[in-house]
Each structure stands twice: as structure tokens, then as C-alpha cells.
């Protein structure tokens, strides 16, 4: 458990998963995350994840049925919850630090 500047109790909740069935690949979570926790992936006709180019300019849109965000570097997450606040689809799963520590 941590204490905020005003003395309130606060516990980080770390991003552990993103539901690919809910995620619409809008990138809002990626834009607010300063820690490079997530990356954008394409989903092909066989429902398999396919790497996207970093800049997005080289993507062959015919190759993807849709795009989704995936957890890439979960150890970089600081548990701020910014991604959850901007996700219109509530696609992320966050777990309290105390629960992860007990596991």
C-alpha cells in the first residue's frame, strides 16, 4: 500500500491483460501510457496476431481483419490506471499489487 501526496491510501493496479475480443485497436491506451507497456497488433483472417509496423505506414490493410492492443512489456507498468480510464470498451484487466505479490 502506498500513500499519495495528500495522505490518501493508494495501491497500484497493474495491467495484466487486454481482451482482444473487446479491444477495437483505437490506440487511446497506447497514447496515454508513457511506459511502453502495450503494442498494436493486427489480427488476420485466421484470427492470429500479426506484427504491425511501428509507424503504421507500411501496414498492408488487406492483411488485417482488425487491429488490437496487446500487453508487450508488462514489467514496465507502474499501475497508474491511465489506460483503463481512456478505454471506451473496458478491455483491460488490472490486478492490485498486493494480489500479484501474493501469487
pLDDT band at 63 (very low <50, low <70, confident <90, very high): confident
Residue 37 has pLDDT above 90, yes or no: yes
Q: Is residue 70 part of a domain?
A: yes
CA atoms within 13 A on the CB side of 88: 5
Q: Is residue 103 part of a domain?
A: no
Q: pTM score, two decimals?
A: 0.86
Q: What's the pLDDT at 74?
A: 96
Q: Is residue 16 part of a domain?
A: yes
Bridge partners of residue 39, in order along the sequence = 70
Per the CB < 8 A criterion, the answer to whether 102 and 96 are in contact is no
The alpha carbon of 42 is separated from its chain's Cα centroid by a whole number of angstroms, namely 14
Residue 55 has pLDDT above 70, yes or no: no
Q: Is residue 93 part of a domain?
A: yes
Average pLDDT in the chain:
91
Q: Number of structural domains, the chain? A: 1
Q: What domain range is 47 assigned to?
A: 2-97
| Beta strands 49-51; 13-18: pairing state | unpaired
pLDDT band at 67 (very low <50, low <70, confident <90, very high): very high
Residue 77 has pLDDT above 60, yes or no: yes
- 82 backbone dihedrals φ, ψ, rounded to 5°: -60, -40
Q: Is residue 47 part of a domain?
A: yes
Q: Is residue 27 part of a domain?
A: yes
CATH number at residue 78: 3.30.70
Amino acid at each position: 500500500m502506498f500513500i499519495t501526496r495528500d495522505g490518501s491510501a493508494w495501491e497500484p493496479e497493474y495491467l495484466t491483460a487486454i481482451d482482444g475480443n473487446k479491444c477495437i485497436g483505437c490506440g487511446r491506451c497506447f497514447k496515454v501510457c508513457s511506459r511502453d507497456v502495450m503494442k498494436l497488433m493486427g489480427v488476420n483472417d485466421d484470427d492470429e496476431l500479426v506484427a504491425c509496423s511501428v509507424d503504421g505506414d507500411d501496414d498492408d490493410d488487406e492483411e488485417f481483419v482488425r487491429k488490437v492492443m496487446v500487453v508487450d512489456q508488462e514489467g514496465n507498468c507502474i499501475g497508474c490506471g491511465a489506460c483503463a480510464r481512456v478505454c471506451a470498451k473496458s478491455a483491460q484487466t488490472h490486478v492490485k499489487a498486493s494480489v500479484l505479490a501474493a501469487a
